[in-house]
Amino acid sequence: MSLPFPPQIERVLYTEEQIDERITQVAAEITARYRDRNLKLIGVLKGSVFFLTALARRLEIPVKIDYLAISSFSASKTVPGVVRIAKDLDEPIEGEDVLVVEDIVDTGLTLRYLLQTLAGRGPNSLGICTLLDRTSRRLVHVPVEFRCFEIGDHFVVGCGLDYKQLYRNLRYLAVMKLESKG
């Protein structure tokens, strides 16, 4: 069963099968890296929820899961925004091996802020795992350790990614018809 193809969708970028296959591969890498450690996945609401769930189900190690939400304010699309935590984690992360799970790393501004904030809480390690990585628009360096797909400069929805809060529930990743050019 699949959803009707929405009119604002230009084309499918990755199918459900391709996404599943790639998440399985990345989950195996994470399992190997974090075996015998205290892994905690931190999901950034709301976009990472679908990806985090799919990833966590494929990990062959016990993990803790926590979530936080970020708000960003920007005067314009080209001016870097101000980021703040809108909903904090429920539990401390001191001494834990933390993997921040994102839907997409774009400019990197959100994650830079997040990593700085979380680093101050004394985790044993702090890494990044993202479904999508768009390095062409990066403004600040962030150390992405695990990524499923590198994508070009088009606006993508599905698998948790939204356009005006819609399309998060698409099982595939798709390019929107209106092109986002920063």
27 belongs to the binding site for ligand IMP (CB under 6 A): no
Query: Would you tell me how many other CB atoms lie within 10 Å of the CB of residue 44?
Result: 21
* Residue 104 in contact with ligand IMP, rule: CB under 6 A: yes
Residue 67 CB neighbours (<10 A): 18
In the list 110, 115, 118, 173, the residue contacting ligand IMP (rule: CB under 6 A) is 110
Residue 117 main-chain phi, psi, to 5 deg: -65, -50
- Taking CB under 6 A as the criterion, the residue among 64, 155, 168, 171 binding ligand IMP is 155
One residue of 42, 129, 156, 170 binding ligand IMP per CB under 6 A: 156
Q: Is position 106 an interface residue for ligand IMP (rule: CB under 6 A)?
A: yes
What b/e sequence results for 148-173 when a residue is b if at least 16 CB atoms lie within 10 Å of its CB, and e otherwise?
Answer: bbebeebbbbbbbbebeeebbebebb
Catalytic residue list:
106
| Contact positions vs ligand IMP (CB under 6 A) | 47, 102-110, 155-157, 161-162
